Amino acid sequence: MTNRFRTPSGGRIDRATPVSFRFDGKTFTGYRGDTLASALIANGVHLVGRSFKYHRPRGFISAGSDEPNALVNVVRDGARQAPNLRATQVEIYEGLKAESQNRWPSLGFDAGAVNDLFSPFLPSGFYYKTFMWPAGAWKRFYEPKIRAMAGLGVAPTLPDPDRYTQNYAHCDVLVVGAGPAGLAAALAAASSGAKVILVDEQAEFGGSLLSETTAIIEGKPTADWLADTLANLAAKDNVTLLPRTTAFGYFPHNLIALAERVTDHLAAPGADLPRERLWQVRAKEVVLATGALERPLVFPENDRPGVLLADSGRTYLNRYGVRPGERAVIFTACDAGYRAALDLKAGGVAIAAIADLRSELTGELPTHALKAGIDVRPSTVVTGTSGRLRVSGASLAKVKHGTVGPSESVACDVVLMSGGFTPSVHLFSQSRGKLVWDGAAGAYLPGTSVERERSAGASRGLSGLQRVLEDGYAQGEAAAKAARDFTSPARGQTPAPAESSRSIPASAEDLGTDGFIGATPHSRNPAFVKAFVDWQNDVTAKDIKLATREGFRSIEHVKRYTTTGMATDQGKTSNMNALGIVSEALDTPVPQIGLTTFRPPFTPTTFGIFAGEARGDLFDPLRKTAIHDWAAEHGAAFEDVSLWKRAHYFPRAGEDMHAAVARECKAVRASVGLFDASTLGKIEVVGPDAAEFMNRIYTNAWAKLEPGRLRYGVMLREDGFVMDDGVVGRLAPDRFHVTTTTGGAPRVLAHMEDFLQTEWPDLDVWLTSTTEQWAVIAVQGPKAREVIAPLIEGIDLSKEAFPHMSVREGRICGVPTRLFSVSFTGELGFEINVPAEYGRSVWEAVYAAGERFGITPYGTEAMHVLRAEKGYIIVGQETDGTATPDDVGLGWAVGKAKKDFVGKRSLARAAFSAPDRKQLVGLRTTDPRVVLEEGAQIVTDPSAPIPVPMLGFVTSSYNSAVLGRSIALAMIKGGRARIGQKLTVPMETHAIEVEVVEPVFYDPKGERLNG
Partner 1 sequence: MLIIDCPWCGKRPEIEFRYGGEAHIARPADPSALSDEEWAEFLYNRTNPKGLHAERWRHIHGCGRYFNAVRDTVSDFFVVTYKAGEQRPENLGPDVDGASIGGDK
Partner 2 sequence: MQKFSGFELFRRALGGHKSWQPQWRSPEPKAEYDVIIVGAGGHGLAAAYYLAKEHGITNVAVIERGWLGGGNTGRNTTIVRSNYLFDESAALYEHAVKLWEGLSADLNYNVMYSARGVLMLAHNHHDEISFKRHVHSNRLNGVDNEWLTAEQVKEFCPPLNITSMRYPIIGGALQRRGGTARHDAVAWGFARAADARGVDIIQNCEVKAIRRGPSGAVEGVETTKGFIRAKKIGVSAAGHTSVVMAMAGLRMPLESYPLQALVSEPVKPAFPTVVMSNTIHAYISQSDKGEMVIGAGTDAYTSYSQRGALHITTHTLDAICELVPQFRRLRMLRNWGGIVDVTPDRSPIIAKTPVPGLYVNCGWGTGGFKATPGSGNVFAHTIARDAPHPINAPFTLERFRDGFLIDEAAAAAVAH
Residue 300 sits in the site that holds partner 2 (CB under 8 A) = no
User: CB 742 → partner 1: shortest distance, Å?
Assistant: 20
Written as one letter, the residue type at 312 is: S
Part of the chain binding partner 1 (CB under 8 A), chosen from 245-253, 318-326, 453-461, 614-622: 245-253
Q: Which residues contact 41 (CB under 8 A, 6 or more apart)?
A: 5, 60, 316, 320, 322, 324
Binders of partner 1 among residues 696 to 725 (CB under 8 A) are 718-719
Closer residue to partner 1, CB minimum distance, 850 or 885? 885
Q: Which of 118, 486, 610, 619 binds partner 1 (CB under 8 A)?
A: 486
Mapping DSSP onto H, E and C, the string for 272-334 reads CCCCEEEEEEEEEEEEECCCEEECCCECECCCCCCEEEHHHHHHHHHHHCECCCCEEEEEECC
Nearest CB to partner 1, comparing residues 28 and 721: 721
154 lies in the binding site for partner 2 (CB under 8 A): yes
Residue 520, C-beta contacts closer than 8 angstroms, at least 6 positions apart: 297, 298, 299, 331, 357, 381, 382, 531
Interatomic CA distance for residues 700 and 687, integer angstroms: 19
Q: Which of residues 975-1004 bind partner 2 (CB under 8 A)?
A: 986-988
Using CB under 8 A as the binding rule, whether residue 362 contacts partner 1 is answered as no
One of 554, 798, 926, 1010 touching partner 2 (CB under 8 A): 554
C-alpha–C-alpha distance, residues 794 and 219, integer Å: 91
Q: How far apart are CA 806 and CA 312, in angstroms?
A: 82
The answer to whether residues 213 and 222 touch, using CB atoms and an 8 Å cutoff, is yes
Residues 98, 83: Cα–Cα separation, whole Å? 9
User: Which member of 77, 706, 900, 988 binds partner 1 (CB under 8 A)?
Assistant: 900
Which residue number, 257 or 834, has a Cβ lying nearer to partner 2? 257
Does residue 896 interact with partner 1 by CB under 8 A?
no
Which window, 233-241, 640-648, 746-754, 856-864, contacts partner 1 (CB under 8 A)? 746-754
**88: Cβ contacts below 8 Å, ≥ 6 apart:** 35, 36, 37, 60, 62, 63, 64, 65, 67, 70
Is the Cβ of residue 184 or residue 683 nearer to partner 2 in the bound state? Answer: 683
Interacting residues with partner 2 between 82 and 101 (CB under 8 A):
82-84
| Using rule CB under 8 A, residue 499 touches partner 1 | no
Please give the Cα distance from 294 to 312 (Å, whole number): 8
Does residue 666 touch partner 1 according to CB under 8 A? no
- Residue of 882, 892, 941, 1010 that binds partner 2 (CB under 8 A): 882
492 interface partner picked from partner 1, partner 2, none, CB below 5 to 8 A per type: partner 1
Q: Which does 489 bind (CB under 5 to 8 A by kind): partner 2, partner 1, none?
A: partner 1
Beta strands (DSSP E) in 24-100 are: 26-32, 49-50, 57-58, 71-75, 81-86, 97-100
255 is an interface residue for partner 2 by CB under 8 A: yes
Return the CA Rg of the chain. Answer: 38
| Helix ranges (DSSP H) in 448-601 | 465-484, 541-549, 555-562, 575-586, 590-593
Nearer to partner 2, 495 or 565 (CB): 565
Cβ neighbours of residue 731 closer than 8 Å, sequence gap 6 or more: 707, 708, 737, 807, 809, 818
Number of CB atoms found within 10 A of residue 24's CB: 16
List Cα–Cα distances, 675 to 781, 830, 847, in angstroms: 11, 10, 10
Contact residue for partner 1 among 216, 350, 389, 490 (CB under 8 A): 490
- Please identify, among the stretches 61-69, 467-475, 490-498, 597-605, the one whose residues bind partner 1 according to the rule CB under 8 A: 490-498
- At 15 the three-state DSSP class reads strand
Applying the rule CB under 8 A, the residues between 248 and 287 that interact with partner 1 are 251-255, 280, 282, 284
Segment interacting with partner 1 (CB under 8 A) among 242-250, 559-567, 572-580, 906-914? 906-914
> In the range 165-184, which residues lie near partner 2 by CB under 8 A?
none
251 near partner 2, rule: CB under 8 A = yes
Instruction: Check binding of 721 to partner 2 (CB under 8 A).
Output: yes
The one of partner 1, partner 2, none whose footprint includes residue 991, by CB under 5 to 8 A per kind, is none
810 half-sphere exposure, CB direction, 13 A CA radius:
19
Number of residues in contact with partner 1, rule: CB under 8 A? 35
* Min separation Cβ 591 and partner 1, Å: 22
Closer to partner 2 by Cβ: residue 561 or 698: 561
- Indicate the helix (H) or strand (E) that contains 126: helix 126-129
The torsion defined by the Cα of 981, 982, 987 and 991, in degrees rounded to 10, comes to -170
Binding partner 1 (rule: CB under 8 A), the pick from 362, 758, 943, 989 is 758
Q: Which is nearer to partner 1, 104 or 610 (CB)?
A: 610
Alpha helix segments (H runs only) across 830-967 = 839-850, 860-869, 904-907
Task: Find the part of the chain contacting partner 2 (CB under 8 A) among 249-257, 303-311, 516-524, 848-856.
Answer: 249-257
Contact between 611 and partner 2 per CB under 8 A: yes
CA distance 612 to 603: 19
CA 854, CA 856: separation in Å to the nearest integer?
Answer: 6
CA distances from 437 to 107, 432, 461 (A): 42, 15, 11
| Nearer Cβ to partner 1 (251/712) | 251
Decide whether 518 or 744 has the Cβ nearer to partner 1: 744
Should residue 109 be labelled a site residue for partner 1 when binding is judged by CB under 8 A?
Answer: no
Identify which of residues 405 and 895 has a Cβ nearer to partner 1 in the complex.
895
Q: Is 114 in the site for partner 2 (CB under 8 A)?
A: no
Residue type (1 letter), 126 = F
**Cα(353)–Cα(394) distance, integer angstroms:** 10
Nearest CA-CA partner of 533 in 569, 484, 482, 492: 569
- Of the candidate spans 30-38, 156-164, 574-582, 650-658, the one that interacts with partner 2 by CB under 8 A turns out to be 156-164
**Residue 597 within binding range of partner 1, rule CB under 8 A:** no
* Distance from C-alpha of 997 to C-alpha of 195, rounded to nearest angstrom: 74
Residue 31 three-state SS: strand
Residue 459: what residue type? S
**Binds 214, which of partner 2, partner 1, none (CB < 5 to 8 A, cut-off by type)?**
none
CA dihedral of 689, 695, 698, 702, whole degrees rounded to 10: 100
- Residue 761 within binding range of partner 1, rule CB under 8 A: yes
User: Quick one: 492 or 935, whose CB is closer to partner 2?
Assistant: 935
CB of 493 to partner 1, least distance (A): 10
Is position 360 an interface residue for partner 2 (rule: CB under 8 A)?
no
761 binds, among partner 1, partner 2, none (CB under 5 to 8 A by kind): partner 1
Cα-based distances in Å from 198 to 191, 429, 502, 996: 14, 20, 20, 73
Return the range that interacts with partner 1 (CB under 8 A); candidates 373-381, 481-489, 516-524, 941-949: 481-489
Query: Binding to partner 2 by residue 847, rule CB under 8 A?
Result: no
Interaction of residue 754 with partner 1, rule CB under 8 A? yes
Q: Choose, by CB under 8 A, the member of 4, 26, 549, 852 that binds partner 2.
A: 549
| 329, 355 Cβ separation under 8 angstroms | yes
Residue selected from 277, 314, 904, 924 as contacting partner 1 according to rule CB under 8 A:
904
Q: Confirm or reject binding of residue 68 to partner 2 (CB under 8 A).
A: no
Contact pick of 936, 962, 963, 979 for partner 2 (by CB under 8 A):
936
Q: Which residues within the stretch 629-668 sit at the binding site for partner 2 (CB under 8 A)?
A: 639-642
Residues that bind partner 1 (CB under 8 A): 251-255, 280, 282, 284, 432, 450, 452, 486-492, 718-719, 750, 753-754, 757-759, 761, 899-900, 904-906, 908-910
